[in-house]
Amino acid sequence: MKRLKILILIFCLALSIPLAYFVLRTYRSLEQEEVAQLRYFAVTIFDQMEEELASLVIKEEGRPIDQYRYNYLAPGQARGSGRLSRSPLSQPPKDRYILGYLQNNPDGSFNSPLVKDDDNIPPGSNSVVAQLNEVNKTFNLKRSTVPEGVEIKPAEMVAKREREEVSTFADKYLDLSRSKKQRSYLGQAKKRVEEITPSQALTVAQLDENQKESKARQEPEEQVATEQDLAPMAADRIAGQPAKEKGLSTEQYRPRAAAPSPLRSPPALDTEKLQVEVDPMQAVFINDSQIFIFRRIVINNQIYRQGFILIVQEFLNHLANEYFSLQPMSQFTSLRLSVVDRGRETTTVLSGAAVQYPNFALERTFPRPFSFLRATLTCDRIPKSVGRTTLNIMMFVLAFIILIGLFAIYQSARAVVALSERRSRFVSSVTHELKTPLTNIRMYIEMLEQGIARDHEREQEYFRILGSESSRLSRLINNVLEYSKLEKKQVHLDLQRGTLQEVIQEVKEVMQEKLVQEGFDLKVEREEVPPFKYDREAMIQVLINLIDNSMKFGRSSPTRRITIKIWPEGDTVKISVSDTGPGIPGSGLKKIFEDFYRVDSELTRTTGGTGIGLALVKKLGTAMGGAVTAKNNDGPGCTITITMRA
């Protein structure tokens, strides 16, 4: 058994090492899969935000350059026709995060499509126009600090995207290497050259009617310029202003044109084309709450800036509400949208669940011109994969099966080893049990041959001893043979109905001589019982074995009494054999009917026996359709009960 235990232990270790590695790798894979899924959907949200930003940029880049005036030349219209279309930007913006649109002129003045002229500002637009005027002033101060040809951009606004090194589960099915190319710009990445008509150029640079008439009265000596002269004249005017170098005064922030020009020009001029340079969209912080997103328009070396004013707080709230707040993942993740100006967070919006100790974080800084916008998604409780539950159940079932299997193997091996040991003891016991009566028989026969028995009574005593030892030897041989037949299932029982009366009588006759020799008193308590089925020879052998077992272990008791009791109980008949011996230890009550089992005690060591007597009783009782149980008495001794069906 010791070797078996060592082998089982080695087997457990050999099995547990690869199994533990498999479990750890599986849990690791599930954890990576859970993180990859969360990362995939977080990237999806960021991509949706980026698509809206891109569509906003593309929409602004696609606007005609003269649309930033109250009236503009729609495609297909000639300026000389006298029919100008109203700009779609002349209405208040539908998006709450856009304050308004404006055009910053080369001389520092500005135009807004909300205003047709200075004297005709819509009542609802007074506040917005005033704010746009303040924005224009601030922007002029910022742009005056750098040369005209240099793009205004903080160093921190360089687009930067976090590279997801961990592959997502989508990579198993799609090759996203091409679509994942990093974008540094939303919309156009380089400046483009666009052809416009002189009429469009005039619209971009023109004065309102009232302004031009007033200016014409103040400067009568100045000649009316044609469209061909517009750009050079505007350049000369701006170059001649000393405020260009020293800064712009408050008066120069009022809307005015680069040069006067008539409202109408010959339609034939619209057939000519002018080339205009259009730069990509840029962003400049006006203050912590407003950002000017614009494009630079270069007409004949004159720079115009056209764009819209972004309200930062409203814009962040719009992104959070539109793409995150209503999503199911907002219940366990947190989204942080922040605006960064030169490394300093100016505005922050938090949405979703509160996360104190995140174990997952994904950050993205969006491409230009929104490189000031940073999105961070964190989570401290990643949703568990369905496969994790299945794995847990399967691992529990597998571990349970392995443990049960090992336990069954151990118990089976232990039973086999114990049975082998009992069989070995049985062989030794049978040898001893056979040798003892044979030795006695041989000894008394020799004594009779040598005439040691001098009288008739002594001879009769020797003959009785020889008969007793012969019966003992016969019973032992019969038990062994009967047990062997039961093991091979070769026993054929003849079940007949009876009341057991003739069986009790024969048992008394067979055991009477030995009972007298051992000094035991056999008592029979019998009640009226209905006839029941049993095999006569098998029942005699069962009762003889029980009486013989009681005498064997009850010799040392002060009271030597064996009681056979027969009584009906319900639809059964019970037969019990009680003694006044030492009883059976509690741990051995269920084992005494096992093959070759003997209770390990001082009494059994000094008492002969083969260990098949009670096992044979159990097998014969079961073969007759009954049940055999053992129970210690309240006093000394124990009781073996056989229950037979009536």
Cα distance between residue 243 and residue 252, in whole Å? 9
pLDDT of residue 220: 42
Give this prediction's pTM. Answer: 0.58
Q: Does domain 492-645 have CATH number 3.20.19.10?
A: no
Strands 521-526 and 274-278 turn out to be: unpaired
Q: Are 563 and 523 in contact (CB under 8 A)?
A: yes
- Tell me if 199 sits within 8 A of 269, measured CB to CB: yes
Non-local CB neighbours of 495 within 8 Å, separated by 6+ positions: 533, 534, 535, 624, 625
Alpha-carbon distance of 117 to 129, in angstroms, equals: 12
User: Is the pLDDT confidence value at 49 over 90?
Assistant: yes
**CA neighbor of 45 nearest in space, from 372, 385, 333, 346:** 333
Percent of the chain with pLDDT over 70: 74
CA distances from 637 to 516, 585, 587 (A): 20, 11, 16
Q: Please state, in angstroms and rounded to a whole number, the distance separating the CA atoms of residues 643 and 634.
A: 20
- What are the two backbone dihedrals, phi and then psi, of residue 376, each rounded to the nearest 5 degrees? -130, 125
Lowest mean pLDDT among 244-258, 416-430, 450-464, 553-567: 244-258
**Where is pLDDT greater, at 83 or 142?**
142
Tell me the mean pLDDT in the region 1-12.
78
Dihedral, 12, 14, 18, 24 alpha carbons, nearest 10: 50
Average pLDDT over residues 285-310: 91
Burial class (CB in 10 A: 0-12, 13-18, 19+), 642: buried
pLDDT number for residue 635: 80
Domain positions in the chain: 26-174+184-379, 492-645
**What is the structure's pLDDT at 272?**
67
Label residue 165 by pLDDT band (50, 70, 90).
very low
What is the model's pLDDT at position 646?
74
Sheet of 333-341, strand order: 344-352, 333-341, 373-379, 360-365
User: Length of the chain, please?
Assistant: 646
Task: Give the residue-averaged pLDDT of 296-316.
Answer: 91
How high is the pLDDT of residue 308?
A: 93
Distance separating alpha carbons of residues 258 and 246, to the nearest angstrom: 18
pLDDT at 600: 57
Mean pLDDT of 473-499: 74
Instruction: Specify whether the CB–CB gap between 333 and 378 falls below 8 A.
Output: yes
Token pair listed for 114:
């909300």
Does residue 218 have a pLDDT over 50?
no
Handedness of CA 203, 205, 210, 216 (dihedral sign): negative
What pLDDT shows up at residue 57? 92
- What local confidence, expressed as pLDDT, does residue 238 receive? 33
Instruction: Return the top range by mean pLDDT from 120-124, 436-440, 558-562.
Output: 558-562
pLDDT surpassing 50 at residue 25: yes
Tell me: pLDDT of 388 over 60.
yes
Question: Is residue 258 over pLDDT 50?
Answer: no
The arithmetic mean of pLDDT across residues 199-220, rounded, is 54
Per residue, the 3-state secondary structure of 483-531, as one string, reads HHHHHCCCCCCCCEEECCHHHHHHHHHHHHHHHHHHCCEEEEEECCCCC
The tokens for 550 are: 């009681």
Q: b/e per residue, 467-505, with b = 16+ CB within 10 A?
A: ebbebbbebbeebbebbeebeeeebebeeeeebbeebbe
Q: Is the pLDDT of residue 586 over 70?
A: yes
pLDDT averaged over the chain? 77
Residue 60 has pLDDT above 80, yes or no: yes
Higher model confidence: residue 304 or residue 223?
304
SS3 324: helix
The pLDDT of residue 429: 61
Share of the chain above pLDDT 90, in %: 19
